[in-house]
Structure 1
Amino acid sequence: MRFAPVIYGIGGLLLMTQSAQAVESMDWLNKLSISDKVNSQGAFIYESNGHLTSHHIARKVDSNGDVKERLYRLDGTPYEVVRDNNRIVCSTSADDQADVAKTLAPKLKPEQINKGYTIKHLGESRVADNATDVVAFMPKDPYRYAYEMQLSKSTGQMLKSTTFDQKGNALERLQYITYSSLSSSAEELASKADCAPRVEAEEISHVDQATWRASWLPSGFERIRSLKSWQAGGEGRPVQYLLYSDGLSNFSVFVDSDSQTATADSRNQFGPTSVVSKRINPSDKDVLITVVGEIPAGTAERIALSVRPD
């Protein structure tokens, strides 16, 4: 495996001057960060947790920079999701498979990513008949995964990505098999009739609404959203939802302060996704904390135990 020695045998990289590393890192991050403003369409293969699926994606960026995107699965049970400026407009099921598209055009903050990763150009290659640069994102701590990406030389868009655990094992792969930077047509972006509208949860805005936060976070992770969501199943019980990101990895925290279910603590791993549930008692009342995201299970557990009222 090419990437494993890069993660654990980085002695050669340390010979580079810090200034040269900083300049190179910013160059690649800036190139990747503007790729979300590029028109694109194509088909890609996604592999995670032993499952392989194929998808088609169409993206159009208008003159104002607004982005519309449609993702459609090409095999198995039909599935599609339509996004407008990263907001889900409709999808064909309650599955979280919309997350497959999360890494296709990430919204990056170069300074934020530099806090958690060392970035290195590994060479050149080719994906979907497009020349690419191979770039490694090596974690600076054990609290996140490593990534190897191939970026289109012409657009900067990620055309291939592999996620590695702390031992260098591949957890997730995504690779385009066809790719074009041409603008997608209205027909390619139009959803089918069974794409059900999605209404996002209410933003927390009331002063009497209890809020929570993770009191411990790995360096570089920031809270980017806080919502008052609702318990699935129509129970109407408020469940707070927090979203954190380090620019490459995301994780969500769900806080159920009214849960009466005797749920035992749990810890599961599905490919790169960890799902950890912990019961805490910050004020003589059981609160169920669930952390779900692209982080090691140990990191998710430590975050769950750190959640407190804000």
Structure 2
Amino acid sequence: MRKSVTAVRTRRLKPGRCLLTLFMVLAVLLTGQAVAESGGSGSTASVDDAGSKDAEYWLSRLGPALNMTSYRGVFVYARGDQVSSMQIAHRYQDGIVEERLVPQDGASGEIVRKGMRVVCVLPDHGRIQLDQVIPSGPFAEAFSSQLMPVSRWYQPELAGDDRIAGYDVVRLALKAKDDLRYSHQLWLEKSTGLLVKSHVRSAEGSVLEHFQFTSLEITDSLADSEFVIRTEGEEIARELEAKESSSPMPRMDGWTLEWRPDGFIPAAAPRSGKGQAVAFSDGLAAFSVFVEPAREIVMPTGASRIGATTVYMKQLEVDDVDFFVTVVGEIPPRTARKVADSVKVDDTLAFGVIRQ
């Protein structure tokens, strides 16, 4: 029986990390739907003009709209037979992005962001910063600040108009040009370019993951109180820092990734970390690579997938030290396996390993 992604990952975490991983998986819900650009124009286009724009135009608006549009609402996210809902408030003010996400079912807690500072609040285990995962989607500024050439890896086409959560939208189809990534369909609100619905699709066209706002209000009238942490708990301070590289074989702290699909570049790394968790993005999809010394507990290996999200785990021995490699993201299982197999640990001391 196939284990879910969340179940496999939870087995390798301390109790305080279990819900954090759930939030990470939920944060990935928009990973494949956001062109990761922290800059760009925040101007709006009229609904009347929207029909004359081509697919490339809407792609150029996607990233800026994600960060620079202020809104509140509730969205649902479906992977396989699992459905989750989140409440979100998002504000762009004085060049700073603020955001608060609260799960509406399942695990309790919240995620609060101000600029590059992101806090995951777990009521039973205190507040844990996202220092071992690189979220995306709502946290797109953690990715590269440059607009990546998405059309090099996907074929963009306009697929018609629609109406979502009371707003007129345009539908954009992005077909993957190779079998190393999934295809996407995006629904963008016409006046702002804000993503309001998305599908991640297999090569056969089946929907693997589905995101959609069920209620939405695009507004600049968001009070400071909507971004206040309301869950009590101990806070561990961390900051995220953008990390960019165009090198085909980037050097991390203690390890090297010798292969990755064309178009995926290192996107971000935790400022406080040792480079043992790094995210990669092609502008639509993203995956993270985790490298850490193996624990005494027996760990599962191999691939697990739920919806479009794959987790691939493998064990690696270097200089009589066991390491565990995990790849997680919206990529096909065979792609995740090739990424994991390309990880080379070349400096065990960088992990703080003490040999007996």
Q: TM-score, normalised by structure 1?
A: 0.77
Aligned residue in 2 for 1:255: 291
Aligned residue in 1 for 2:34: none
Shift, 1:253, TM fit? 0.9
CA contact (8 A) 2:259 2:342 kept: yes
Aligned residue in 1 for 2:137: 103
- Structure 2 CA distance for partners of 1:110 and 1:137, relative to 1, 3 Å: farther
Paired amino acid for 1:219:
D
Question: In 2, distance between residues paired with 1:77 and 1:263?
Answer: 24
Shift, 1:264, TM fit? 5.3
Aligned residue in 2 for 1:221: 264
Render the CA deviation track for 1:89-142: whole Å, top value 9, x for unaligned: 24226799x99x843574585433223211111011000110000001111111
Does 1:61 find its partner at 2:92? yes
Does 1:42 find its partner at 2:78? no
Superposed, which structure 2 residues align to 1:132-151 within 5 Å?
132-151=169-188
Paired amino acid for 1:190:
V
Aligned residue in 1 for 2:231: 193
Matched residue SS, 1:156: coil
CA contact (8 A) 2:88 2:100 kept: yes
Superposed, which structure 2 residues align to 1:89-128 within 5 Å?
89-92=119-122, 102-104=136-138, 106=140, 109-128=146-165
Shift, 1:144, TM fit? 1.0
Shift, 1:170, TM fit? 1.3
Aligned residue in 2 for 1:294: 330
Shift, 1:75, TM fit? 2.9
Q: Among the aligned pairs, what percent are the same residue?
A: 29
Query: For 2:199, which of 162, 172, 180 is the aligned residue?
Result: 162
- Structure 2 CA distance for partners of 1:86 and 1:144, relative to 1, 3 Å: farther
- Structure 2 CA distance for partners of 1:288 and 1:54, relative to 1, 3 Å: closer
Superposed, which structure 2 residues align to 1:275-294 within 5 Å?
275-281=311-317, 285-294=321-330
Render the CA deviation track for 1:215-254: whole Å, top value 9, x for unaligned: 1111110012345888xxxxxxx78112111112111111
- Structure 2 CA distance for partners of 1:309 and 1:78, relative to 1, 3 Å: closer
Matched residue SS, 2:151: helix
Matched residue SS, 2:256: strand
Paired amino acid for 2:278:
L
Question: In 2, distance between residues paired with 1:51 and 1:195?
Answer: 28
Give the structure with the higher percent strand. Answer: 1
CA contact (8 A) 1:48 1:272 kept: yes
CA contact (8 A) 1:43 1:179 kept: yes
Aligned residues: 274
Shift, 1:191, TM fit? 1.8
Question: In 1, distance between residues paired with 2:118 and 2:270?
Answer: 15
Does 1:269 find its partner at 2:310? no
CA contact (8 A) 2:240 2:269 kept: no
Shift, 1:181, TM fit? 1.7
* Alignment gaps of 5+ in structure 2: 1-52, 244-251, 347-356
Paired amino acid for 2:225:
E
Question: In 2, distance between residues paired with 1:79 and 1:221?
Answer: 32
RMSD: 3.2
